[in-house]
């Protein structure tokens, strides 16, 4: 495989062997193996295969290296003028770190 485009967590990633990714929470622990079966595009040796929407029989395998890690806090602040209404919230998304095989 030269590269592939996979879908996980509502996002699409262009991956090749050896890439490190932070994907949405998968619910696995460090050292586990993960298979991404939602492959949208597969390029190998100049030959391109495009799925409609996914390719049958194509799987991208990965090893979990970092487990589940929280991202930096993102602040959501809403302000309404003249009513003195303010709302401040924070959110830390959980990611799983993987390396593509």
What global pTM score does this model have? 0.81
Instruction: Please determine, for residue 1, whether its predicted confidence score (pLDDT) is greater than 90.
Output: no
The number of folded domains in the chain is 1
Question: What does the DSSP assignment read for 12-79?
Answer: EEEE-TT-EEEEE-----TT-EEEE--EEEEEETTEEEE-SSS-TT--EEEEEEEEEEE---EEEEEE
Q: Which domain holds residue 46?
A: 3-100
Question: Which tens digits make up the pLDDT trace of 54-72?
Answer: 999 999 999 999 889 999 9
| Cα of 3 vs its chain's centroid, Å | 16
Confidence of residue 4 (pLDDT cuts 50, 70, 90): very high
């Amino acid at each position: 495989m030269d590269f592939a485009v996979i879908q996980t967590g509502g996002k699409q990633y262009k991956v090749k062997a050896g890439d490190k990714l932070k994907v949405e929470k998968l619910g696995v622990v460090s050292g586990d193996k993960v298979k991404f079966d939602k492959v949208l595009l597969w390029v190998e040796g100049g030959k391109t295969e495009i799925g409609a929407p996914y390719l049958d029989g194509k799987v991208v395998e990965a090893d979990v290296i970092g487990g589940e890690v929280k991202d930096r806090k993102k602040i959501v602040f809403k302000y309404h003028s003249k009513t003195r209404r303010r709302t401040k919230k924070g959110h830390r998304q959980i990611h799983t770190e993987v390396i593509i095989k």
